[in-house]
Structure 1
Amino acid sequence: MDMIWMSLVLLTGLLMLLGAGLWVAFALTATGLAALYFLSNVPIGYSLATSFYGASASWELAALPMFIWMGEVLFRSRLSEEMFNGIAPWVGRIPGRLLHTNIIGCGIFAAISGSSAATAATIGKMSIPELTQRGYDRKQILGTLAGSATLGLLIPPSIILIVYGVATEQSIARLFVAGILPGLLLMVMFAGYVGIWSKMNPSGVPVEEEESLPLAEKLRRSRPLIPVVLLIVGIIGSIYAGLASPTESAAVGVALAHLLSWRGGSLSRANCMDALMGTVKTSTMIAFILVGAHFLTVSMGFTGIPRNLAAWINTLSLSPYMLLLALTAFFILLGCFLDGISVVVLTTSVILPMVQAAGIDLLWFGIYLVIVVEMSQITPPVGFNLFVIQGLTGDNIIRIALAAMPYFLLLMAGVLLITLFPEIVTYLPNQMGN
Structure 2
Amino acid sequence: MSVVFDALVVGSAPAGLSIAAALCHQGLNVAGLAKAPPPGEWPNTYGIWCDELEPMNMTHLLSHRWQNSVSYTAKKKILLHREYGLFDNLKLQSHFLEQCERGKMSWYQGTAAGIEHLATHSCVTTTEGTTVCARIVIDASGHQPALLKRPQNDRTAYQAAYGIVGTFSAPPIEPQQFVLMDYRADHLSPDERQEPATFLYAMDMGKGVFFVEETSLANSPAVSFEVLKDRLNKRLAFRNVQVNEIHHTEYCLFPMNLPLPFVNQSVMGFGAAASMVHPASGYMIGALIRRSPLVAKAIAEALNHPQTSPASVATIAWRALWPTDEIRKHALYLFGLENLMRFEEATLQAFFASFFQLPLPQWSRFLANTFSTPEILQMMLKLFAQTTNDVRWNLIRSAWGDRNLLWEMCNPKAHYLNSAHKH
TM over 0.5: no
Q: Taking structure 1 as the reference length, what is the TM-score of the superposition? A: 0.26
Higher relative contact order (CA 8 A, sep 6+): 1
More strand by share: 2
TM-score scaled by length of structure 2 = 0.26
